[in-house]
Amino acid sequence: MVGRTRQVVAPLVALILAAGCGTEAEPGGSDVGGIPTATGAAPDASALQMRPVESITAPDSEAYDRGEPTCGGGVGSACTEGQLLDPDGITLEDAAGKRYGLGPLVADGSDVSSATSVDLGDGTWGVQVALGPAGTTAFASATATAVTMTTPADQVAIVVDDSVVSAPVVQERIDSGQVQISGGFSQQEAEDLAALLGGL
């Protein structure tokens, strides 16, 4: 599965953490606004992960060469599932080559209870992800910690495949277990990512 999402997430530029927005995914798989909710088979654990940010190194930084990524990016080798799901930490790059030192795994694709492609109404599509109970609890704890920290530890990185697609600053504890990934998706790209994360 590693590498399968690279084509899907190329245009991904933003992540919206939905804290109690009232857009809970339908349980058991159903049709939401004409878009099927992805539920069923076990999702790909390495397709999505959330980790606290411990460090960020820009390409023009003197420390850049000392923070070589664990895999992917500048290393030039695709990440294995084992590397991506290392519970302790990992260093990955974003599309611009910025290197992120990431802390312990908070949640991954196995914590996704449903993933639904949604029309954002501005000509682009997104993916609404609902975490299961364990993922919701872990994510709530991680966001509660992040709001008390200073930059960059006030950020939670969202990793899809072997790339950091977003690392938003957490503004408040998020108890809803709802995460919306958005920014530049076509309908097909959003549906493909939702299907991958939802395990269809």
What pLDDT, in 10s, does the model give residues 187-200?
Answer: 998 898 888 887 54
SS3 197: helix
Three-state secondary structure of 126-141: EEEEEECHHHHHHHHH
SS3 46: helix
Contact yes or no for 92/73 (Cβ under 8 A) = yes
Q: Residue 64: inside a domain, yes or no?
A: yes
Q: Residue 190: inside a domain, yes or no?
A: yes
pLDDT of 159 > 70? The answer is: yes
Q: Which residues of 120-152 are buried (b: 16+ CB within 10 A; e: fewer)?
A: eeeebbbbbbbbeeebbebbbebbebbeeeeeb
pLDDT of 5 > 60? The answer is: no
Quote the pTM value. Answer: 0.74
d(Cα 124, Cα 120) in Å, to the nearest integer? Answer: 6
Q: What is the CATH number of the domain that holds 95?
A: 3.30.1360.200
Mean pLDDT over 75-84 rounds to 81
Contact yes or no for 175/20 (Cβ under 8 A) = yes
Mean pLDDT over 44-64 rounds to 88
* 109 vs 23, more confident: 109
Mean pLDDT over 106-122 rounds to 91
Domain count, the chain: 1
Q: Residue 76: inside a domain, yes or no?
A: yes
Q: Burial level of 163, CB count in 10 A (0-12/13-18/19+)?
A: buried
Res. 184 pLDDT band, cuts 50 70 90: low
Q: Residue 79: inside a domain, yes or no?
A: yes
pLDDT of 145 > 90? The answer is: yes
Residue 58 has a pLDDT of: 92
Res. 156 pLDDT band, cuts 50 70 90: very high
- Lowest-pLDDT choice from 13-22, 113-122, 164-173: 13-22
Q: Residue 92: inside a domain, yes or no?
A: yes
Residue 158 has a pLDDT of: 85
Q: Which domain holds residue 181?
A: 6-22+35-198
pLDDT of 67 > 50? The answer is: yes
SS3 82: helix
Structure-block tokens of residue 37: 């909710």
Average pLDDT score over the chain: 77
Res. 44 pLDDT band, cuts 50 70 90: low
Q: Residue 110: inside a domain, yes or no?
A: yes
SS3 64: helix
The radius of gyration of the chain's CA atoms, rounded to the nearest angstrom, is 16
Q: Residue 1: inside a domain, yes or no?
A: no
Say which residues have a Cβ less than 8 Å from residue 96's Cβ, sequence separation at least 6.
Answer: 59
d(Cα 167, Cα 98) in Å, to the nearest integer? Answer: 11
Structure-block tokens of residue 12: 């991904």
Q: Residue 27: inside a domain, yes or no?
A: no
